[in-house]
Amino acid sequence: MVNHHFGDHPGSVSSESWNLAVTRESALAEAQDFFDHRLDQFGLTQDAMIAGQISMNHSMLSAYINVGLLHPLELAREAEHRYLTGVARLSSVEGYIRQLIGWREFVWRTYQRMMPEYRTRNTLNAHTPLPEFFWSTDTDMFCVKEGLTHVQERAYAHHILRLMILGNFCLLAGIEPIETNDWFWAMFIDGYDWVMVPNVIGLVLHADGGYVGTKPYAASANYINKMSNYCKKCRYNPKLTVGADACPFNSLYWDFLSRNFKTFQKNQRMQIIFRPVSTLEK
């Protein structure tokens, strides 16, 4: 029915890609699978990206929590239990619980306190329209295509793909915050306004003036090359900043720093990046 009525909309509902739990019982089975097979490795790989790996060792449970099929506290208790019984290492359990009841509750309180004005913030004056390839996935940038393809097929991409690839691109390119927010909101199965807005407007785009994060998560190809195997598969060269083969993330990164120099010049956490420029200015 969905294919019939909405066949030309972005996203896929083929039986290979649509394997989401829709009952409490099957959501519990998904949680069990995470605790049995991925929790122990969660901390070791949570910031890494490998081509073709959709979950890495992430839990992929956010949609079930948000819709009420699973309770965050029962998951935190189960993770704790896995540590106490020697099944999962402390660093992984700590990392998982910190996301689940640290970040999740923090963004909830941010939304409660700051809305509705927060949604309209655009402190970096970003006004570029969202590129068409966010809907079609038609781009040569391997890392971006990888993230977009995961989202098209599964309505999911793990946190680092959201933050450091798709979000980072939008931050550097100066994409209009509310348009970015609405794309994420439309495409992700776990998309809820209260969790999307602080993550996109705050964490990713720094459009809130630094309420959620004390510095923007801006990164060049150097970071992406270090944290993934994407660049090896890409037609661009992560080490080049100019020329036809140069990775677009590099010129976008320097352009972002240059056009926001005045805003971040005094930010203590960005001194390492700006110090050489400030010295030159003197």
Ligand X SMILES: Cc1cc2nc3c(=O)[nH]c(=O)nc-3n(C[C@H](O)[C@H](O)[C@H](O)COP(=O)(O)OP(=O)(O)OC[C@H]3O[C@@H](n4cnc5c(N)ncnc54)[C@H](O)[C@@H]3O)c2cc1C
- Residues 27, 171, 196, 257: which binds ligand X (CB under 6 A)? 196
From candidates 58, 173, 238, 260, binder to ligand SF4 by CB under 6 A: 238
Residue among 167, 172, 157 nearest 204 (CA):
167
From the list ligand X, ligand SF4, none, partner contacted by residue 230 (C-beta under 5 to 8 A by kind): ligand SF4
234 binds, among ligand SF4, ligand X, none (CB under 5 to 8 A by kind): ligand SF4
- Nearest distance in Å: CB 143, ligand SF4: 3
Give the footprint of ligand SF4 on residues 142-201 (CB under 6 A).
142-143
Three-state SS string across the chain, please? CHHHHHCCCCCCCCCCCCCCCCCHHHHHHHHHHHHHHCHHHHHHHCCCECCCCCCCCCCCCHHHHHHCCCCHHHHHHHHHHHHHCCCCCHHHHHHHHHHHHHHHHHHHHHHHHHCCHHHHCCCCCCCECCCCHHHHCCCCCHHHHHHHHHHHHHCCCCHHHHHHHHHHHHHHHCECHHHHHHHHHHHCCCCCHHHHHHHHHHHHCCCCCCCCCCCCCCCCHHHHHHHECCHHHCCCECCCCCCCCECHHHHHHHHHHHHCHHHHCCCHHHHHHHHHHHHHHC
Candidates 160-168, 232-240, 254-262, 272-280: pick the segment binding ligand X (CB under 6 A). 160-168
Lay out the site mask for ligand X across 216-255 (x = CB under 6 A, - = otherwise). ----------------------------------------
Closest distance between ligand SF4 and the C-beta of residue 11, in Å?
23
Q: Is 253 in the site for ligand SF4 (CB under 6 A)?
A: no
With binding defined as CB under 6 A, does residue 199 bind ligand X?
yes
In this chain, which of 26, 104, 123, 139 binds ligand X, going by CB under 6 A? 104
Beta-ladder partners of 237: 246
| Site track 51-90 with ligand X (rule: CB under 6 A), x = hit | -------xxxxx--xx------------------------
The vertex-238 CA angle with 148 and 217, nearest 5°, equals 60
d(C-alpha 73, C-alpha 36), whole Å: 18
Contacting ligand SF4 (CB under 6 A), which of 60, 65, 75, 141?
Answer: 141
String marking each residue 90-129 x if it binds ligand SF4 according to CB under 6 A = ----------------------------------------
Residue 219 binds ligand SF4 (CB under 6 A): no
Nearest CB to ligand SF4, comparing residues 134 and 230: 230
Contact residues: ligand SF4, CB under 6 A = 141-143, 221, 224-225, 230-231, 234, 236, 238, 247-249
